[in-house]
Structure 1
Amino acid sequence: MRDTDLSGLARVLVRVRRLPGAQHWRQCVVPAVAVGVCALLLVVFQHLSQTVDYRSVVVHLCHLSATEWVGALGATAASFVALVGRDAVGLRYVGAAVPRPPLWVGATVGSALGNATGFGALTGGAVRCRVYGVAGVTPGQVGQMTVFTSVTLALALALMTAAGMLGAATTLASMSGLPPGVLRGLGGAGLAGFVVLIAACRAVPKRVQLSGRFARLAFTIPARRDLLEELALSVADVVAASLALWTLLPHAGAHVGFAQFVTVYAAAMLLGMIGHTPGGVGVFEAAMVYALGSSVPTSKMLAALLAYRAIYFGVPLILSAGVLAVFEGHAQKTARASALAQRGAKSVSQLAPLFLAISTFVVGSMLVISGATPAFMKRIAILQTVLPLWVLESSQLLASLFGVLLLFVARGLFRRLDAAWWLALVIAALNLALSLAKGLAFVETGVLCVLIALLLATRERFNRHSSLFAERFTPGWLASVGIVIALAVWVLFFAFRDVEYSQHLWWQFAFDERAPRALRATLAAGLFAAALACWQLLRPAAGRFEKPAEEDLIEAAGVVRAQERSDAVLAMMGDKSFLFSESRNAFLMYAKRGRTWAALHDPVGPRSEWPALIERFVALAHAHGGRAAFYQVRADALPLYLDAGLTLMKLGEEAHIALPTFDLKGSHRAHLRYALKRGERDGFSIELIESTEVPGVLPALREISDAWLANRVAREKSFSVAAFMDGYLAAQSVMLLRQHGQPLAFVTFMTTDLNTEATVGVMRHLPGASPYAMEYLFTQLALHLKNAGFRSLSLGVAPLSGMQPTPLASPWHRGAALAWRFGGWFYNFRGLRGFKDKFQPRWEPRYLAASGSVSVFFTLADLSRLAGGARS
């Protein structure tokens, strides 16, 4: 389907979205409706379960035989085979073809995700877009195929329901309460509609356009063959799925025939699709219990439905996550794999965070609901002989709290955060012990082991360095957490219906007191979830780093060129946002990491506008619950930061060569003269490349840069350090060092239009270069700039330089002095200072001005990550 096919409908949707408050309306109303539907379903289940005992449900569930479990698994497998066939016909309908491996992966994995999360046409369609896209299928084609298969499934369910009404009206009348004549009439009308629908289809697809006042909709009527095959496969899918549930009800056949059961199943499934709950949960169960309650004992029905959910929805989801883990570590890393296989493996494995997020949310829900249910007394008796009571009590409470935390951590996994991966792994590992200690919950332990294995197999996919709670949780996510808590509360009252409530239950501690333990665990889980949700809703928005617009870069470049501070050219790297003054004659460049809003250097522009800019930036950071920081500010501006209420901390000193007095005379310049002579002997030569000529030598410069990074096992820096970026380098001048005509090293230098000050930018050399190469290069650069009339050349900051301990020094100052003296194993502080000292520079102190006191150390950690390229 081309993007223009639904252009009219898209225009209408865009108009609706642009209505005032439309976005806020969608974000709040949809979760509210979901919570309302959940509350209604719980009321219905409360009514249906009045005569059901929790223990009888558990007994029936435990007494399901291995044959019944295997039969249900076999029927589930047959259903998913039919799903693959449905996708194959759908692809043929849109004129696309996909090889068998991605077809099987896309159909099964997409269906498993769609079943587990609801809105299968959207979630499953997203999976198919990624998997089938490897074979050249466009998102438009996947969308058209998804609509075709979803509509056809709904038609198949309606067809099966109509056929059942017509063929078994008498039996269904007793279940539904409708007269047999009405059921036959509805069934006959439905079948007649299908006959008309099939007759309207032709041997080849037909394009149809519907034009109206507000929109123009285009779609393709499928060929009769495609429609009939898709309907047949959909019917086979539904029959196999219903057989999975039927197998778990071995005694249902004595009261209800399989044909009538399939009819009820199809109708309940259709209601679940209309309800749009995840997998039709709640709606489907209520319809099945209501229709078959008079024929099948409700306790047996509920036990079978629980087992059916675990088999038909849980097992495929776990296996799908396993498939992604296999792709993560197999085909993608196989050198002999075909290009298509490698692209497919990479595309499929990128779905791992989505599946891990869903699996983690399901596991968290399991732990919360498990805390609301009673453990088996036989297992409690075993634990009583080996564990003290406080271990049992605390294990159930902590397991429920960790379950709530997993519900929130799952969102971090969805965003591929490394912190979420670590936290999920730690929680799952801790709950292995807690699940055993609270009641020998072996099933929970097995599920947690599977989750841990999946997390370990997909570690490389969680590589985003950002705060776990930096981004607000959506109302939909918080509503999902609320639904889990509400379900746990309902299960608690259902499981302990025969226990008379008393306030003394809260304070009863004994091995056989299961109700008080469950009551305390559920209350703690609810309060913990409410606290986290309230904190998320009430805390200020954390804000998000955004790259500057092209217009802002152009305007900032004009401000930079009009002043003399050459280090302000770092603003042109494009990795920092801008905060302009009201006149837009001055600006701050800043980035964000975690809660730290870090401005680099002092404001750029007229000094009269600095105080207002500093105050605005501090207010901006505090408005988002963050910490304001000004990195590498100069001593003459410190009163401005003190007036803003910031804490000052010395970072080091910056080396400035006074160019008018720089020469090679005297004994203190002997090492520089030797470097020049040694360079001439080694065949060194210098080439000055103006900014207009830089693009022509970029390939040679990049070769040097890549070799330098590879030799140091490092990656490109940013923020306060000049980085090798084509666009950034193209706006600077470069001094290239050649040895016998071959490029060996280079240094870029930043200047402004005033040509009074220059700052060293990117400096790289090939591995194995002479130890005199950079000294030769910097000496030639200083001599060139002196002849060009520049007054100063900055060699950059030497960290912790000048941090000498004094009797009145702060703890930070004393610690920095110790790092300067003994930290050579971690960073060559003294070596960097020694190299720059060869040029006899003037050392100027540089400071950090930041919010808070103790939090300054967290700010320093965030600044380190910013220099490494992290943003949030």
Structure 2
Amino acid sequence: MSDTDSSCFARVRALARRVCGSRHLQRFAVPVLAASVCALLLLVFQHLSQTVNYRSVVSQLCHLSAREWIGALGATAASFVALVGRDAVGLRYVDARVPRLPLWVGATVGSALGNATGFGALTGGAVRCRVYGVAGVTPVQVGRMTVFTSITLALALAMMTAAGMVASAGTLAGMMGLAPDVLRLMGAMLLAASGALIAACGAAPKKLRLFGRDALSFNVPARRDLVAQLALAVVDVIAAGLALWALLPHKGTSVAAQVGFVQFVTVYAAAMLLGMIGHTPGGVGVFEAAMVYALGGTVPTPQMLAALLAYRAIYFGVPLALSAGVLAVFEGRALKAPLASGFAQRGAQSVSQLAPLFLAICTFVVGGMLVISGATPAFMKRIAILQTVLPLWVMESSQMLASLFGVLLLFVARGLLRRLDAAWWFALIIASLNLALSLAKGLAFVEAGVLCVLIALLLATRKRFNRHSSLFAERFTPGWLVSVGMVIALAVWVLFFAFRDVQYSQHLWWQFAFDERAPRALRATLAAGLLASALACWQLLRPAPGRFEKPEAADLLEAARIVRAQERSDAVLAMMGDKSFLFSESREAFLMYAKRGRTWAALHDPVGPRCEWPGLIRQFVALAHAHGGRAAFYQVRADALPLYLDAGLTLMKLGEEAHIALPEFELKGSHRAHLRYALKRGERDGFSIELIEPDRVPDCLPILREISDAWLESRVAREKSFSVAAFTAGYLAAQSVMLVRQQGKPLAFVTFMTTDLHTEATVGVMRHLPDASPYAMEYLFTQLALHLKGAGFRSLSLGVAPLSGMQPTPLASPWHRAAALAWRFGGWFYNFRGLRGFKNKFQPHWEPRYLAASGSVSVLLTLADLSLLAGGSRS
């Protein structure tokens, strides 16, 4: 990057430093909000369950008939068929086509994963990007499709609720506590608004612009796509509601006797809408509270709670388990190349890449199940059987150990998300041990079956966990720790709900007997809570180790050898000596990096053979995470982005780099008139060019330093580092210099970096005297391009134009939108357009450059650290 570019980036990063304080607060605001919602929901359930007995809920669950379970499963299947149809219409909306098998896999697996985690637009979108991407669907199209399906689902829920308000206002009035006329009016207004929205759509899709600005534009779907999507969403909701309806009592004084299916679906749609607004995983808690509140006067609360628990297991648990099975099948196909080729093989590999995400979610769910199971009483009939074959101490220790292992799984799940081999081994060992403990503590056959499924998935996906790093060195985010805390809080609530009739006293802790289930659950839950608290405190309080060390002379020589043997000239920045190196195992490739705060920043893509890149990237991410830091790859190229996505990093566009295609560069034509004028003006002003080869640079350093010092003094600046070429004797000695003289007096110079292949050159340090002619630099760059063309070079890089190419789009990230606004209106801050305009005089090809970094909100902190690195700060 040139010094002109660095000035702009310094200003941009200064802005990032000013806002990172508020962004840092957001890192904790979301987990605190989630914890508050969890606490509120637990209070609501505590109030709703005052008259409910735990045994009655369990009894209702046990008395659900096979017919009811099968009916709920059938309705769930119908709902997922409608989900596939919704994805098909969504793909048609974005003008994409996907073959039948990827469509079914992407829609069902993506929906199952999104339902389980509560971030359907994120995790479900990740699945669809993988699966649909094999058929050529871009992430942007998947994002547009996800927004379309999400908005239409919310609209369908609102329309169904409104229709129910109009058709059954009398029945719903008592359930919702509102007057019938008020309900009818509200429903009619919602239906009218929905009808107007449908009528506003045309026969073909169109782009709507507000105020004539692209930043406020969105695609309006065709009427047939909107109607089809709404119809399928209604079918989806009705089928999902039918899954719960099938589990409710339908005899005597029941929901069927007092509330018809139409009224029930209305309540169900409203509860789903509230769950979407609440943003809890699958609407859990919010949905249940709304259903119990609305139907509490019609259905006995124990029966309602039992039906809701069974509904969660069927509609959310079964699809997730089946999706995991699909993942295992695709994993097997991906590992056995002879069985598949071409499109099918690419699809299998793409889906199997999601193994870490699936396993992390499944492991966290299983860990939560073990912790909550330890807080519930075992069946007395099963305890009586165990009493005849096991000693008391085995049962007592089994329940406590199972809860402790459950807590460990909650933490190990994050290691699986990071693809750590240590996490895989821990998860496999813990799951295997718990398989025996689940039987010893109370013959928990369902729990044992779930553990068997987890073990099978771990074994099927072994090769996906190949990162060698310390599991306990991984720093946990506040959001993850809050999620663990929510599991513990739920377990405590379940404990007191299940043993509501127990008289608690200090003697309860020391009661050991086969039939003393309350003391056993109490001790297990306390132990789980203490272990989770200890691990969380250790994670929050431990320092972030790791210090930057300058490279040794031998490493510099090794890096120089690799740099000279490849064609990327910007890799010569490694020779500045201000960055450390991470070499591949073969020592044929390396990364150059530095550290500031918790940011471990690698400059550019790896240098060396491309086959070495994936391993180096994973190794560097593991190194940063092992020290509790954030990994960042600065100014990476577009063709390497899949490697960073596979490493679990977040991408952010920084700008575009200007490359002059030298074989095509010439001064003919009207579009080169300004360059011809700069040459003529330079000749008239007495300019002359002197090329200084690397062996002559040490002798010319005093002249160059005089120009450089004057340039720095005029800008009240100091030498930069890291991503910015700096004026140092050792670095300049490895480059060629082009010097401009005016009437024999040194006026300006530019260094250019090259390798032994002589195919690409990159502008390095460029300086000029403060009173130099405004045409001096344009004259210098034109002469440099002509010289390199004559020497047989193919390309000359003029450096990055910050924020260039950041066009606003409807689905752009907040950073992208802010950058686009800065590009458009930030002239007072820096002349973004002027910098691109100067480089455009040479008619370059513009190539995007990105930042790939750990985290999401923390990316702004990474930008602030990068600005300090460029200023020379290390830690």
Q: Pick the TM interval, shorter chain.
A: 0.5 to 0.7
Q: Which residue of 1 aligns with 2:758?
A: none
**2:207 paired with 1:207:** yes
Partner SS for 2:165: helix
Q: Which residue of 1 aligns with 2:322?
A: 319
Q: Which residue of 1 aligns with 2:236?
A: 237
Q: Which residue of 1 aligns with 2:833?
A: none
CA deviation after TM superposition for structure 1 residue 337, in Å:
2.5
Q: 1:74 to 1:456 in 2, by over 3 A?
A: same
Q: Which residue of 2 aligns with 1:249?
A: 248
CA deviation after TM superposition for structure 1 residue 392, in Å:
0.5
Q: 1:265 to 1:15 in 2, by over 3 A?
A: farther
Q: Which residue of 2 aligns with 1:37?
A: 37
Q: 1:450 to 1:18 in 2, by over 3 A?
A: farther
Partner SS for 1:21: helix
Separation of aligned partners in 1, 2:550 and 2:300: 62
Q: Structure 2 length as normaliser, TM-score? A: 0.62
AA paired with 2:344? A
Separation of aligned partners in 2, 1:320 and 1:179: 45
- Contact (CA 8 Å) 2:249, 2:303: kept in 1 or not? no
AA paired with 2:81? V
Q: Which residue of 1 aligns with 2:407?
A: 404
Q: 1:554 to 1:579 in 2, by over 3 A?
A: farther
Instruction: Map residues 207-606 of structure 1 onto 2, 5 A cutoff.
Output: 207-211=207-211, 216-251=215-250, 252-330=255-333, 333-335=336-338, 337-543=340-546, 554=572, 557=575, 574-575=590-591
Deviates more, 1:456-465 or 1:279-288: 456-465
Q: Which residue of 1 aligns with 2:63?
A: 63
**Which runs of no fewer than 5 residues in structure 2 stay unpaired?**
1-11, 552-558, 564-568, 597-622, 630-733, 735-875
AA paired with 1:369? I
- Contact (CA 8 Å) 1:130, 1:348: kept in 2 or not? yes
Separation of aligned partners in 2, 1:102 and 1:543: 44
Separation of aligned partners in 2, 1:547 and 1:572: 20
CA deviation after TM superposition for structure 1 residue 449, in Å:
0.5
AA paired with 1:176? M
CA deviation after TM superposition for structure 1 residue 542, in Å:
4.5
AA paired with 2:177? G
- Contact (CA 8 Å) 1:470, 1:542: kept in 2 or not? no
- Contact (CA 8 Å) 1:324, 1:352: kept in 2 or not? yes
Partner SS for 2:470: coil
Separation of aligned partners in 2, 1:221 and 1:498: 58
CA deviation after TM superposition for structure 1 residue 332, in Å:
5.3
Partner SS for 1:335: helix
Percent of residue pairs identical: 79
Deviations 1:189-248 (A, max 9, x none): 1111111111101100110122499x8222111111000000000000000000000000
AA paired with 2:590? G
- Contact (CA 8 Å) 2:327, 2:351: kept in 1 or not? yes
Deviations 1:497-525 (A, max 9, x none): 00011011111111111000000000000
Q: 1:576 to 1:264 in 2, by over 3 A?
A: same
Separation of aligned partners in 2, 1:546 and 1:241: 58
Q: Which residue of 1 aligns with 2:801?
A: none
Q: 1:300 to 1:15 in 2, by over 3 A?
A: farther
- Contact (CA 8 Å) 1:331, 1:341: kept in 2 or not? no
Runs of 4 or more consecutive aligned structure 1 residues displaced over 3 Å after TM superposition: 14-18, 542-560, 570-573, 575-580, 623-626
Q: Which residue of 2 aligns with 1:196?
A: 196
**2:19 paired with 1:19:** yes
Separation of aligned partners in 2, 1:137 and 1:399: 44
Q: 1:39 to 1:546 in 2, by over 3 A?
A: farther
Q: 1:370 to 1:212 in 2, by over 3 A?
A: farther
**Which runs of no fewer than 5 residues in structure 1 stay unpaired?**
1-11, 561-566, 581-619, 627-730, 732-872
Instruction: Map residues 127-206 of structure 1 onto 2, 5 A cutoff.
Output: 127-206=127-206
CA deviation after TM superposition for structure 1 residue 543, in Å:
5.0
Q: 1:60 to 1:546 in 2, by over 3 A?
A: farther
- Contact (CA 8 Å) 1:111, 1:124: kept in 2 or not? yes
Separation of aligned partners in 1, 2:436 and 2:162: 52
Separation of aligned partners in 2, 1:398 and 1:422: 18
- Contact (CA 8 Å) 1:248, 1:308: kept in 2 or not? yes
Q: 1:49 to 1:559 in 2, by over 3 A?
A: closer
Separation of aligned partners in 1, 2:343 and 2:188: 50
Deviations 1:56-101 (A, max 9, x none): 0000001111111111111001000000000000000000000011
Q: 1:575 to 1:151 in 2, by over 3 A?
A: closer
- Contact (CA 8 Å) 2:481, 2:536: kept in 1 or not? yes
Separation of aligned partners in 1, 2:446 and 2:588: 57
Q: Structure 1 length as normaliser, TM-score? A: 0.62
Q: 1:467 to 1:211 in 2, by over 3 A?
A: farther
Q: 1:218 to 1:432 in 2, by over 3 A?
A: same
Deviations 1:260-298 (A, max 9, x none): 110000000000000000000000000000000000000
Instruction: Map residues 806-825 of structure 1 onto 2, 5 A cutoff.
Output: none
- Contact (CA 8 Å) 1:547, 1:577: kept in 2 or not? no
Instruction: Map residues 105-120 of structure 1 onto 2, 5 A cutoff.
Output: 105-120=105-120
AA paired with 1:125? G
Q: Which residue of 2 aligns with 1:588?
A: none
CA deviation after TM superposition for structure 1 residue 557, in Å:
3.7
Separation of aligned partners in 2, 1:556 and 1:377: 70
- Contact (CA 8 Å) 1:79, 1:237: kept in 2 or not? yes
Q: 1:220 to 1:380 in 2, by over 3 A?
A: same
- Contact (CA 8 Å) 2:334, 2:352: kept in 1 or not? no
Separation of aligned partners in 1, 2:50 and 2:136: 55
Q: 1:541 to 1:224 in 2, by over 3 A?
A: same
Deviations 1:793-848 (A, max 9, x none): xxxxxxxxxxxxxxxxxxxxxxxxxxxxxxxxxxxxxxxxxxxxxxxxxxxxxxxx
Q: Which residue of 2 aligns with 1:820?
A: none
Partner SS for 2:20: coil
CA deviation after TM superposition for structure 1 residue 575, in Å:
4.8
Deviations 1:770-813 (A, max 9, x none): xxxxxxxxxxxxxxxxxxxxxxxxxxxxxxxxxxxxxxxxxxxx
CA deviation after TM superposition for structure 1 residue 20, in Å:
3.2
Partner SS for 1:218: strand
Partner SS for 1:294: coil
Q: Which residue of 1 aligns with 2:637?
A: none
Partner SS for 1:295: coil
- Contact (CA 8 Å) 2:85, 2:232: kept in 1 or not? yes
How many residues get paired?
A: 567
Q: Which residue of 2 aligns with 1:776?
A: none
CA deviation after TM superposition for structure 1 residue 123, in Å:
1.5
Separation of aligned partners in 1, 2:628 and 2:410: 24
Separation of aligned partners in 1, 2:190 and 2:594: 63
Deviates more, 1:489-498 or 1:538-547: 538-547
CA deviation after TM superposition for structure 1 residue 22, in Å:
3.4
Separation of aligned partners in 1, 2:122 and 2:83: 16
AA paired with 2:270? A
AA paired with 2:240? A
